[in-house]
């Protein structure tokens, strides 16, 4: 776990108006931070700069104690949970969760122990031999999170993970993500354009408009002082 500190972050694509314009946000250790705003406000760009998928034009990105501006994504120890979950259809749940450990050359014993521990937390222990194609949307989301957990990532990053789901499933998944995040106590940054999601999921909400941070407050404060 680690805090994520964005200091005066600027992103310019070409010579146009900055996509992200002098944004400062401090995400506390274990906090669930929402980035919300209309399409094009810069929230995905900001998330991609945290992960390292996008160069930072100006400002400091600090994770824990480290300035990470010049670090490659794999050196940042963050876990991006993608919208489509990016699971391997031909691998079992066990092997999908184990994947990052196998890549890192972990022993079978370590793989076994970590995958079982994570799958217990995620209530997936009865589904370890199944393939992603036979799982519900919620279970797939949990497999994707399991993969992040076994890596001991310092933070979870979500980019509109629920936007392709129907309203009912979206509601269930919101509850599930929120519950898991609290149980794991893992620092989380979550991008959405959905106000309901923003107001129900986050400890705090950062509201962006045309690349500028408009508000940074708890849902309660935003509700009483919109
Ligand atoms: P959001 O995630 O809030 O929809 P984005 O971060 O995707 O917003 O985009 C913010 C702004 O930056 C938009 O004006 C978008 O068109 C622009 N933008 C995003 N990615 C690129 C890119 N690779 N090249 C040029 N402009 C981009
Ligand atoms: P999102 O808003 O979810 O990021 P988009 O459809 O806006 O999705 O962007 C998809 C991809 O296109 C991203 O990789 C983004 O960087 C890129 N992109 C977005 N806007 C522009 C733009 N104006 N010029 C070039 N690439 C862009």
Transcribe 150-196 into DSSP letters: HTT-SEEEEESTTTTS-HHHHHHHHHHHHHHHHHHT-EEEEEES-HH
Q: Could you report the predicted ipTM of this complex, rounded to two decimals?
A: 0.70
**Kind of pairing between the strands at 187-192 and 204-209:** unpaired
For residues 157 and 182, what is the distance between their CA atoms, to the nearest angstrom?
15
Q: Is the CB of 41 under 6 A from ligand 1?
A: yes
CA 54 to ligand 2: nearest atom: 16
Extended beta strands in the chain, E state: 4-11, 20-27, 32-36, 58-63, 66-67, 78-81, 155-159, 187-192, 204-209, 212-217
Residue 136: the pLDDT is 84
Atom of ligand 1 nearest to the CA of 14: 25
pLDDT value of residue 1:
58
CA 205 remoteness from chain centre: 14
Other C-beta atoms closer than 10 Å to the C-beta of 215 total 15
Residue-wise pLDDT tens digits, 171-198: 888 888 888 888 888 999 999 999 889 9
- CB of 18 sitting under 6 A from ligand 1: no
Rounded CA Rg of the chain:
18
- Give the pLDDT of residue 153: 87
Residues 6+ apart with CB under 8 A from 180: 121, 122, 142, 145
Task: Find the ligand nearest to 20 CA.
Answer: 1
- The count of residues in the chain is 226
Extract the residue ranges of the chain whose pLDDT is less than 50. Answer: none
Q: Find the 196 Cα to ligand 1 centroid distance in Å.
A: 23
- Which one of 15, 39, 41, 44 would you pick to mutate in the ligand 2 pocket, going by the greatest count of ligand atoms within 8 A of its CB? 44
215 CB under 6 A from ligand 2? no
pLDDT at 58: 97
How many angstroms is it from 4 CA to the middle of ligand 1? 22
- Report whether residue 45 contacts ligand 1, using a CB cutoff of 6 Å: yes
Q: How far away, in angstroms, is 182 Cα from ligand 1 center?
A: 31
Q: Verify whether ligand 2 is closer than 6 Å to residue 44 (CB atom).
A: yes
Would the CB of 40 count as within 6 Å of ligand 1? yes
Nearest Cα to Cα of residue 146 among 79, 65, 52: 79
Which of 35, 39, 45 has most ligand 1 atoms within 8 Å of its beta carbon, as the pocket-test mutant? Answer: 45
């Amino acid at each position: 776990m680690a805090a994520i500190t964005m200091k005066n972050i600027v992103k310019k694509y070409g010579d146009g108006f900055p996509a992200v314009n002098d944004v400062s946000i401090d995400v506390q250790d274990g906090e669930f931070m929402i980035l919300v705003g209309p399409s094009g406000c810069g929230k995905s760009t900001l998330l991609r700069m945290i992960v390292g998928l996008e160069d930072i034009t100006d400002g400091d990105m600090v994770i824990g104690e480290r300035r990470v501006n010049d670090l490659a994504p794999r050196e940042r120890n963050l876990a991006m949970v993608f919208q489509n979950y990016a699971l391997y259809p031909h691998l079992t749940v066990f092997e999908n969760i184990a994947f990052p450990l196998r890549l890192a050359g972990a022993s079978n014993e370590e793989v076994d122990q970590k995958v079982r521990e994570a799958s217990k937390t995620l209530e997936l222990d009865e589904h370890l031999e199944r393939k992603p194609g036979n799982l519900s949307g919620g279970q797939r989301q949990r497999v994707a999170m399991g993969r992040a957990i076994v890596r001991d990532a310092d933070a979870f990053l979500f980019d509109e993970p629920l936007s392709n789901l129907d309203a009912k499933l979206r509601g269930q998944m919101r509850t599930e993500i929120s519950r898991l995040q609290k149980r794991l106590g893992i620092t989380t940054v979550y991008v959405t354009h959905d106000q309901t999601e923003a107001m129900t999921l986050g400890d705090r909400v950062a509201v962006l408009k045309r690349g500028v941070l408009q508000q940074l407050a708890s849902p309660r404060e935003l509700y009483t002082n919109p």
